[in-house]
Amino acid sequence: MFSVRNKSNLGFPILRSFSNLVRYHLGTVAMGSLIIALVQLIRSILAAIQYQLKGQENAVSRCLFRTCQCCLYCFEKILKYLSRNAYIETALFGYSFCQAGQRAFKHLSSNALRVAAINSVGDFVLFLGKALVVIATVLIGIKMFDDKPGIRHVWVPLVLTGLFAYLVAHCFITVYEMAIDTIFICFCEDCEQNDGLNQPYYMSRGLMEFVQNSKKALAVLDASSMPPSQAWSTTSTRQAASGK
């Protein structure tokens, strides 16, 4: 993304990315998986200890075990989200896992409000997509089973069909979720490296609307595509309107 401004001829980006992953970044992927696996191992050990002490624990120990499990569960979710964004940084710039995780955490913490908005709206839209696929599949199944009245306990195949449809929809929509996170990280990197004026943005014109200096950058782009007299008139009008 940050090496070619013309995105019309990218060749085979998926094959090239997979080749770079196998050739350079298998250790990074293994490192992220290892950290998450260690947290899951600690959770399993605590669950096993709690099971062995079942019937002999008091209220304080139960509260302690539940608090530890809750903290480890939240920590695991944070690690998974941070690791996913670290993999994006690795794919962009070839960083190691620790360096990529540090840079991803920097972008996520400095854009906390944007992250919250994207996650809330994005998760809701993706959930609606999954629900739509499941509902459509079940409705089609009901219509098909209505034509075959000899089948008993129709709800059993319908439930199985709905579960299978949800799993398939989840697998496909997860790809879109990863694409949303990738676009957001690219957006943050583009905002940090460029200002839209002296250094033009790599992002599309639509994404420029979210940048702090987007109005100035769009004015420059519009002026460059106009005749000189019309560009000067438009720039003067905008400066007068903004009080500059």
Give the tens place of pLDDT for each residue, 137-181: 999 988 887 767 666 778 888 899 999 999 999 999 988 888 888
Number of C-beta neighbours around residue 33 at 10 A: 11
pLDDT at 75 over 90: yes
pLDDT at 215: 55
CA count, 13 A, side-chain hemisphere, 62: 6
Q: What is the amino acid identity at position 37?
A: A
40 is a domain residue: yes
pLDDT band of residue 218 (cuts 50, 70, 90) is low
Q: What is the mean pLDDT of residues 83-93?
A: 90
**Quick one: tokens of 214?**
């987007």
State the pTM of this model: 0.74
In whole angstroms, how large is the CA radius of gyration of the chain?
26
Cα pseudo-dihedral 91, 93, 95, 100, rounded to 10? -80
Decide which of 143 and 213 is more confident. 143
Domain that holds residue 15: 11-103
Chain mean pLDDT for the chain: 81
pLDDT category at 232 given cuts 50, 70, 90 is very low
Query: Token digits for 129?
Result: 């997509």
pLDDT band (50, 70, 90) for residue 198: confident
Q: Is residue 74 part of a domain?
A: yes
Q: Say if 115 falls within a structural domain.
A: no
Question: What's the number of domains the chain is made of?
Answer: 1
**What pLDDT sits at residue 231?**
44
Q: Is the pLDDT of residue 235 over 70?
A: no
pLDDT at 107 over 70: yes
Site of tokens 């250094």: 199
Is residue 158 within 8 A of residue 139, CB to CB? The reply is no
Look at residues 197, 190, 177 and name the one whose alpha carbon lies nearest to residue 1: 190
Q: Does residue 230 belong to any structural domain of this protein?
A: no
Highest-scoring range by mean pLDDT, 53-57, 181-185, 210-214? 181-185
* Share of residues in the chain with pLDDT > 70 (%): 80
Residue 132 lies in a domain: no
Q: Could you tell me if residue 28 is inside a domain? A: yes
Which pLDDT value is given to residue 222? 64
- What is residue 54's predicted lDDT score, i.e. its pLDDT? 81
42 has a pLDDT exceeding 90: yes
pLDDT of residue 238: 45
CA angle 173, 175, 178 (to 5 degrees): 115
Query: Does 139 map to a domain?
Result: no
- Per the domain annotation, does 232 fall within a domain? no
